[in-house]
Structure 1
């Protein structure tokens, strides 16, 4: 029975286990199952697999037994067969790879279900303004066909890639949106979510005009204007708030969209997520779903700390610790802070040396009239959160911002061993200097990298950062060799949530747009990359004593991949499919069921169209126009 009291589902009826051939040599995770005495039959077993325990000894096995939501034993097929009985549910891995459940350690999950139609239309993968306009034209047509009034309707889209457009010599402006808006108001965040573009219908709103006219001095540089001083429609960082006038999602919309999001991540083998920057209302939504038995996913929640000490204090004062909820399902023990922006075409990351061809180094994005005041605010916020007992994860991408964050961590931790054990970490950590990585390793400060973003950008940032910095960006090899705890995350819905794509990205350092390698020196192995999606995220979650590896007593969270992950060419990994996902001993996803087939359009979105099924879905317009008919009904 799943730990939160959900009813047991038997979705693999009639599965048959082929007996293991004699003489197969397999190392059991905790010794031969039969050697530890009878303990009753397993509830669920996974047989005939290439089981990767993912512990430090790199052990292997063939089968896993689960009882009462926890791993009972790991061993050979023959050993695990002895733990079965008539009521045991059997999953045949068919020679595929069996892993601990994937832990996406930085995933804006509460918003991810809202990132697909009919809520939001995806611009991911568009390589030209024409392609962006095609998607927006369909979105507008859907809104009109649904009878949505022009006066009150916002058409939302997200995922356009400014760096990619720059590479092909194109600049997206509000005029391009106006051409296809048919009077509707359009708002479209860039894929990084550190910039957005709106059309003239939004800029003409009296509220928006007033906000722009009275914008504070620190926001003015982030309001983009053309050579004639006219608004282009692009707003960056804090200035995005000036045009964020679309009605907020209702709690009912957020809660309802979670069903599609949970189904989608289960299809990818994801069993745990860290949702960064949530507020008290989002915590309550998760808690309500848990109490209703509708949260078959482990969530680690980071409270949003805002951009000044007052905002952080308000967030901490407004949070009441959850009661009556197993922290293995919902944990609220972290605070997310922001230091800077992103080192893309937006040039809002804070660097030690200027961006290519400019005199600008970017800046911190916290409140403060000077850089010194911003640093004081950041360090005060870090100290406040740590003194309150919260683990801190801080968004920092530029090398100067990362150094500032690490200095703040060290100052706040001091010699207090309890504070040092909080496992604070740097989110994204794109350009962490080698000397800073050494400091992080010495003081137990982790890094949360994004190999999928590396795949999306590749060498596109050469004109922005130069070749040396672009190739170094996300220095996996250097960080691991120096002993830094490195977790990998999708940052979805900023990028697709396909961890297999992330593994491929960390191993090959190639982009979606070609075979050019961006930083061969920072490549890591497939197995090292898998650790960053399993064991290390569990460390980040303070959960390495009960999840992240497959060993006795740990939770029964498993992911079964069709194919040999370690034996497949890295470039081909994104084409592998997850066949089964198990959470707390319950099969929550089985690719052979009709429910899984019905959700394929939504699944293709989070996979990033890495499979032929996903590509066909995109080509026939399903993902942009019809996904809601199948995935959200």
Structure 2
């Protein structure tokens, strides 16, 4: 008798219950509404986790079979579960540094509450400490009074500690102590304008080229876990800060937040960049940390904005082109900051030229980031070239329709796309603010300033922040959906994402966040 026949005979002799019994799970979440965010948007009741991965998704009765003597059972009581949210365009390193000392006004609806937050921060400050808000807000979000902050208001926050509120790279506010600390003339107005006007204040608290401590990194990871984020793609530049402490933390073991990043180099030196790209390998990450590709400014002199109306001159575009060719030939994904229609056309022209000689560029998931100026024609070209589109909530902060990417048209086209924040200076880093904006089309002032029909369904928005984003970071085999075999990154919500009023999506809150089956946040 062969071994195969013997094993079959032994199997036939076993009780059917022994054959059918699944392995006991480490954790079972049962009795809820599990939005798997798979391609069919399947909704289940329960799921089971073992060794950090999902081993079962389905009905309460089916998943109950995975409950053993040592299984930790989480009774969902009807609560909604979604995959861990992925941000495809984040500035994690510099934000971790800033978060150590700043207050945040993301989502604060009233001026009174904003001032109360600032005063509470001042009450904790030591003499000489700066009280800062480094982006993610605008006075126009205040429903009670959206006028600019006055010097008297900010002096009421603190008369002795400098106060600096960075609204954007070209606008902000300061109190009298901050003017004195920087040696800047105090004209009686708190308002600061222009990059040069902000420079003395930004330099005083600058994140540039800093290395955040282990404690600061873990604190910021905890903050993002609190909001349901389990993975981010840091698309920053060399000056954003040192990645080394994150790499050291990742080397010690699993982190509560997955942090992937672009290649850091001097983006003003094209020949050196080409040499580096040719000498390194892309996509060298593991499940928690590592390098993916290039971006968001592969050549820094190409600084696009929605106001650009002409194509870049050859002297500027040629080095950009050289880096692009090197990236394609060496298998690098590119995640490029493109805001204007003119630059979108020029970039797609370049990719078409590259594809004739290097057809595999269509498989590298090159991404147009921001995409404010995309038209249907450019969206169709991008799809044909295998170019993805990253849509980011920095546009939510604006009041100009020229700043608004055509989210609905992008979604309907069938092109691969995803949602991100561009946090945490030019936008809020709260992913539910991004989801609410994509569904309602309302900007930070609840829609004032534009009338917009370029919205998507709440199902499509969630897919874009999970399923589709996993593809943009080359992690679709492990992240993005709640399916058997995937890593158990998930979020339990306080209310049902699918049924709350659309305007309330931005106010949803996680009550529990898991990364690889481990609880990293619990309310």
TM-score range, shorter chain: 0.7 to 0.9
What do residues 349-368 of structure 1 show as CA deviations (whole Å, max 9, x unaligned)?
3433xxxxxxxx8xx9xxxx
Distance 1:303 1:238 in 2: 31
Deviation at 1:174, TM superposition (A): 9.7
Match of 1:367 in 2: none
- Tell me if structure 1 keeps the 8 A contact 2:127–2:160: no
- Tell me if structure 1 keeps the 8 A contact 2:97–2:211: no
Among 349, 352, 369, the residue aligned to 1:407 = 349
Q: 2:101 aligned with 1:119, yes or no?
A: yes
Among 416, 428, 431, the residue aligned to 1:485 = 416
Deviation at 1:242, TM superposition (A): 11
Q: 2:134 aligned with 1:158, yes or no?
A: yes
Match of 2:41 in 1: 58
- Tell me if structure 1 keeps the 8 A contact 2:439–2:457: yes
Distance 1:124 1:48 in 2: 33
Deviation at 1:88, TM superposition (A): 0.9
Match of 1:109 in 2: 92
Distance 2:350 2:154 in 1: 42
**Count of matched residue positions in the alignment of Structure 1 and Structure 2:** 496
TM-score, normalised via structure 1 length? 0.67
What do residues 29-86 of structure 1 show as CA deviations (whole Å, max 9, x unaligned)?
xxxxx99944421111111121222222222211111112111121111011111101
Match of 1:474 in 2: 405
Q: 2:306 aligned with 1:349, yes or no?
A: yes
Q: 2:233 aligned with 1:292, yes or no?
A: no
Match of 2:127 in 1: 147
Distance 1:58 1:35 in 2: 33
Structure 2 residue matching 1:523: 3-state secondary structure: coil
Distance 1:407 1:423 in 2: 16
- Tell me if structure 2 keeps the 8 A contact 1:341–1:397: no
Q: 2:214 aligned with 1:283, yes or no?
A: no
Among 56, 63, 77, the residue aligned to 1:73 = 56
Match of 1:609 in 2: none
Q: Which runs of structure 2 are paired with 1:140-539 in the superposition (5 Å)? A: 143=125, 146-148=126-128, 156-159=132-135, 164=140, 188-191=165-168, 193=169, 200-201=179-180, 204=183, 234-236=193-195, 244=203, 246=205, 253-277=212-236, 279=238, 282-293=242-253, 295-304=255-264, 306-310=266-270, 313=273, 316=276, 327-338=286-297, 348-352=305-309, 371-450=313-392, 452-457=393-398, 460-461=399-400, 469=402, 473-494=404-425, 495-514=427-446, 516=448, 518-539=450-471
Structure 1 residue matching 2:127: 3-state secondary structure: coil
- Tell me if structure 2 keeps the 8 A contact 1:188–1:196: yes
Distance 2:340 2:139 in 1: 17
The alpha-carbon distance between structure 1 residues 203 and 311, as it changes in their structure 2 partners (threshold 3 A), is: farther
Match of 1:588 in 2: 520
What do residues 454-509 of structure 1 show as CA deviations (whole Å, max 9, x unaligned)?
5443xx22xxx5xxx46xx2211111111221200122213333322222211111
Q: 2:76 aligned with 1:93, yes or no?
A: yes
Structure 1 residue matching 2:74: 3-state secondary structure: strand
- Mind listing any 5+ residue stretches in structure 2 that lack a counterpart? 1-16
- Mind listing any 5+ residue stretches in structure 1 that lack a counterpart? 1-33, 210-225, 227-231, 343-347, 353-360, 365-369, 592-633
Distance 2:153 2:488 in 1: 50
- Tell me if structure 1 keeps the 8 A contact 2:84–2:513: yes
Distance 1:95 1:386 in 2: 48
Deviation at 1:562, TM superposition (A): 2.9
Structure 1 residue matching 2:243: 3-state secondary structure: helix
Deviation at 1:445, TM superposition (A): 0.8
Structure 2 residue matching 1:587: 3-state secondary structure: strand
- Tell me if structure 2 keeps the 8 A contact 1:561–1:580: yes
- Tell me if structure 2 keeps the 8 A contact 1:272–1:299: yes
Q: Which has the higher mean CA deviation after the structures are superposed, 557-566 or 74-83?
A: 557-566
- Tell me if structure 2 keeps the 8 A contact 1:129–1:170: no
TM-score, normalised via structure 2 length? 0.80
What do residues 213-260 of structure 1 show as CA deviations (whole Å, max 9, x unaligned)?
xxxxxxxxxxxxx9xxxxx85343999599636565796644321222
Q: Tell me how large the CA RMSD over aligned residues is.
A: 4.3
What do residues 180-202 of structure 1 show as CA deviations (whole Å, max 9, x unaligned)?
886866655334x4656776557
What do residues 350-401 of structure 1 show as CA deviations (whole Å, max 9, x unaligned)?
433xxxxxxxx8xx9xxxxx84322223323333333443211111222223
